[in-house]
Structure 1
Amino acid sequence: MARALLIVLDSVGIGGAPDAARYGDAGSDTVGHIAETCAAGRGDRDGLRSGPLRLPHLAALGLGLACEEATGRVPPGLAPETPPQALWGHAVETASGKDTPSGHWEIAGLPVREAWGHFPDTQPAFPAALTAALIERAGLPGILGDCHASGTAIIDRFGAEHVRTGQPICYTSADSVFQIAAHEEAFGLERLIETCRIARELCDPYRVGRVIARPFLGSEAEGFRRTSRRKDFAVAPPAETLLDVAEAAGRAVVSVGKIGDIFAHRATGREIKPAGNAACLEAALDAFSTLPAGGLVFLNLVDFDTEHGHRRDVPGYAAELEAFDARLPAIRAALRPGDLCIITADHGNDPTWTGTEHTREQVPVLAFGPEVAPGSIGRRETFADIGASVAAHLGLPPLGAGRAWW
């Protein structure tokens, strides 16, 4: 029986979606703009990388051709030198929004078209009743922030005041999210987690997709830095996903990275959550090496998004892409006859774009394995085609949405 490895390169979009103008993202193109910036000599950083974007293995799979289908152009350096070695194409999101849960749920066969709740880009951003209830129930002396902000910038801005007053830093963004940052030692990690549990309950009436605990360490003198002990409290998917169907069929499921958080730990099997893309990929390959027939490893690589996209860091993003590309031979070597690997993304986060938010983009779809015949799968009208194709490959019942390309 076949196995599957599903890899989501968080935020690695390949061009504005057909409805990108609704989100202010017409013309965004995460991969294309990174490649163009590097080709122009503006993607260098001493000790990190220099020169044009180099993704030879992804190009060989057909990434450049997927970009061309999505945008009409092949980004610099991504034209394949030989016929593509994978099934390649691109997919359009049908869910309303450009956030992580919507993208992943749709990949797993569950497009959610109802609008999420969002907090306005005003100050204060949160309803007074929500803030008052959080302060009372969590026993807080107050909150700081109460605005739209970048996670790193707001910690730099309020970190010292937070340590001095004990008030957690609460902020949001264009995503459906309520984020709480607090010092692991001065405030306490467990207290932060409990505060987020309370916030999760309070945010439910507002249809907020995620409450996120953002712990950090450091001091005013040394600077503050976020730690790897982030924890997401997401709304559970409102219907069955690929994971539910796999669990019901008795299949082995391994969730690596923040997949468990995204799916509210439902049907996510064995969860592994190392820190960093490299460690997550190694953990996924290790799990895949002993995965029984019919099993699924579902991996999210979040550093593209959190470490580089939101920070508008082109050299860092380029280096992260190149590091992943270098590991593709190991991924291909891990596949046995009958196995399938799909590489895709959940949204964009163009580091050359204005602001610090996700961008509404199309995503690449690259599918390969020892017995997968290469070719074009064209434009997929929903991310759900990805989950439908995984289900068909594994011999699972059809999902609620999506059409397999097999």
Structure 2
Amino acid sequence: MARALIMVIDGFGIGAAPDAESFGDIGANTFANLAKEFLQQEGRSLALPNLGGMGLFEAAKAAGAEDLAVQSQAATSGAFGYAAEVSSGKDTPSGHWEMMGVPVLFDWGYFSDKTDSFSKELLEQISIRTGIEGGLGNCHASGTTIIAELGEQHMQTGIPILYTSADSVLQVAAHEKTFGLDNLYRYCEQVRELLNDLDLNIGRVIARPFIGDDASNFQRTGNRRDYSILPPSPTVLDQLHDAGGTVVSVGKIADIFAHQGISRKIKATGLDQLVDTSLVEFESAIDNTLVFTNLVNFDQDYGHRRDPIGYGQALEYFDSRLPEIFSRLNDDDFLFLIADHGCDPTWHGSDHTREYVPILAWAPNMQRIDLGERKTFADLGATVADIFALQSPKYGTSFKSLITS
């Protein structure tokens, strides 16, 4: 029986998707644009020999990158392709659910007003439900920026900071010490319940704790928690779990799937810890186990913050860890790398971008295989289902036969 490790390079797009125009994202290309900026500012090309060896560069060029500012490395082993998203949004739940066989084919609810994002009526309902009067912010904002602007006022008043983005999300920032982490979680749970009761179809309520004494040293902690709605139907994770297999969530995967279809969840903070934890979990995994990891830092720390240099350095770090990951795989194990959307650090604003994402697969003794263009992220879920001998999901086409021939 096989084991599999999926690692999501959160926010790593490789070229504008076919429907990018509908999202205002023609020209977005997370990988190509950050590589170009890295070359200009650092005076050298990105060095990604292991990702290159898996076929990342071929996939990126096929997805529309005519000139990649990277140190050339042709694919030597592993399967590579690029996938378009069929879900209606370019958000985290849509991307993850789709890659596990359940695309989002409905419209999310959004808070579209930039300056008065939450209606007076909703704020009143939140106050009634939580017992805490009012909310600071009430706008579209970058998380780090709004904490710097309103963090001290929040500490003085005890009123949470409420904000949103282009995603279907309501975010709540509060100080871990003065407001309390458990109080923040309870507040978010109550808001999640309220949004469900009001049938607003908001994808996530996110707890954003921070620490520090004042605006000069506020920083978010690793105790973020996402409160998602349930996927609209069972995912491949549910199938594997219900069939007696093991699904191990590393990072925020369990939150994204509302803890459904998860056998065990492990939290980790920072790219190094996420990789370390994934290695520990995979090395000790029994047969019929899927370890599923979200590498949130690419998106959270570099994409949204429009930091192409930090993004490039993080890619180089992750690349340097790949040989260690490869060494953990037995002959019948599989590694898959994918992304859930783009988050071009050179693009306008601070939101996600509608892009193709890479699909890379690796196993011991796997030859160089071109998977070409995949019409949906769900092809990964169909392949995982095939590997674990599960019923094929409604959406997606398995490429298991290509990577095991």
How does the TM-score come out when normalised to structure 1? 0.96
AA at the equivalent of 1:13: G
- In structure 1, what is the equivalent of residue 16 of structure 2? 16
How far 1:78 sits from its partner (Å)? 5.2
- 1:198-236 deviations in whole A, cap 9, x for unaligned? 110122211100000001111226421111111110001
How far 1:371 sits from its partner (Å)? 4.4
Which whole-Å CA distance do the structure 2 matches of 1:52 and 1:372 have between them? 28
Which whole-Å CA distance do the structure 2 matches of 1:78 and 1:238 have between them? 43
Rate the CA distance shift 1:142–1:251 in 2: closer, same or farther, 3 A.
same
Which whole-Å CA distance do the structure 2 matches of 1:221 and 1:238 have between them? 41
Q: Is the 8 A contact 1:28 1:353 kept in 2?
A: yes
Which whole-Å CA distance do the structure 2 matches of 1:233 and 1:399 have between them? 25
Stretch of structure 1 that moved more, 392-401 or 315-324: 392-401
- In structure 2, what is the equivalent of residue 382 of structure 1? 376
How far 1:84 sits from its partner (Å)? 3.1
How far 1:373 sits from its partner (Å)? 3.1
Are positions 1:53 and 2:40 aligned together?
Answer: no
- 1:307-350 deviations in whole A, cap 9, x for unaligned? 11110011111111110000010111111011111101000100
- 1:106-154 deviations in whole A, cap 9, x for unaligned? 0111111101111013321112221101112212131100000000000
- In structure 2, what is the equivalent of residue 146 of structure 1? 138
SS of equivalent to 1:355: coil
AA at the equivalent of 2:186: E
AA at the equivalent of 1:180: V
Which whole-Å CA distance do the structure 2 matches of 1:306 and 1:121 have between them? 23
Gaps of 5+ in 2: none
Are positions 1:7 and 2:7 aligned together?
Answer: yes
Aligned residues: 398
- In structure 2, what is the equivalent of residue 26 of structure 1? 26
Which whole-Å CA distance do the structure 2 matches of 1:178 and 1:372 have between them? 43
- In structure 2, what is the equivalent of residue 47 of structure 1? none
- 1:221-268 deviations in whole A, cap 9, x for unaligned? 642111111111000111011100101110121110100000000111
Which whole-Å CA distance do the structure 2 matches of 1:33 and 1:66 have between them? 15
- In structure 1, what is the equivalent of residue 195 of structure 2? 203
- In structure 2, what is the equivalent of residue 276 of structure 1? 270
Rate the CA distance shift 1:210–1:216 in 2: closer, same or farther, 3 A.
same
Q: Is the 8 A contact 1:30 1:348 kept in 2?
A: yes
Identity of matched residues, %: 46
Which whole-Å CA distance do the structure 1 matches of 2:65 and 2:126 have between them? 49
1:70-81 matches, cutoff 5 A: 70-77=63-70, 79-81=72-74
- In structure 1, what is the equivalent of residue 286 of structure 2? 292
1:13-162 matches, cutoff 5 A: 13-40=13-40, 42=41, 44=42, 51-77=44-70, 79-81=72-74, 83-162=75-154
How far 1:293 sits from its partner (Å)? 1.4
How far 1:372 sits from its partner (Å)? 3.1
1:353-368 matches, cutoff 5 A: 353-368=347-362
Which of residues 306, 310, 320 in structure 1 aligns to 2:314?
320
Which whole-Å CA distance do the structure 1 matches of 2:258 and 2:165 have between them? 21
How far 1:21 sits from its partner (Å)? 1.1
Rate the CA distance shift 1:221–1:253 in 2: closer, same or farther, 3 A.
closer
Which whole-Å CA distance do the structure 2 matches of 1:296 and 1:74 have between them? 36
Which whole-Å CA distance do the structure 1 matches of 2:372 and 2:17 have between them? 15
Q: Is the 8 A contact 2:249 2:266 kept in 1?
A: yes
How far 1:159 sits from its partner (Å)? 0.5
- In structure 2, what is the equivalent of residue 220 of structure 1? 214
Q: Is the 8 A contact 1:65 1:79 kept in 2?
A: no
How far 1:74 sits from its partner (Å)? 4.6
How far 1:168 sits from its partner (Å)? 0.6
- In structure 1, what is the equivalent of residue 167 of structure 2? 175
- In structure 2, what is the equivalent of residue 189 of structure 1? 181
- 1:171-217 deviations in whole A, cap 9, x for unaligned? 00000000000111111111111110111012221110000000111
Which whole-Å CA distance do the structure 2 matches of 1:10 and 1:221 have between them? 28
Q: Is the 8 A contact 1:92 1:380 kept in 2?
A: yes
How far 1:24 sits from its partner (Å)? 1.0
Are positions 1:264 and 2:258 aligned together?
Answer: yes
Instruction: Provide the aligned C-alpha RMSD in A.
Output: 1.2
How does the TM-score come out when normalised to structure 2? 0.96
Which whole-Å CA distance do the structure 1 matches of 2:214 and 2:326 have between them? 46
SS of equivalent to 1:126: coil
Which whole-Å CA distance do the structure 1 matches of 2:386 and 2:112 have between them? 41
Which whole-Å CA distance do the structure 2 matches of 1:243 and 1:78 have between them? 37
Q: Is the 8 A contact 1:141 1:166 kept in 2?
A: no
AA at the equivalent of 2:274: C
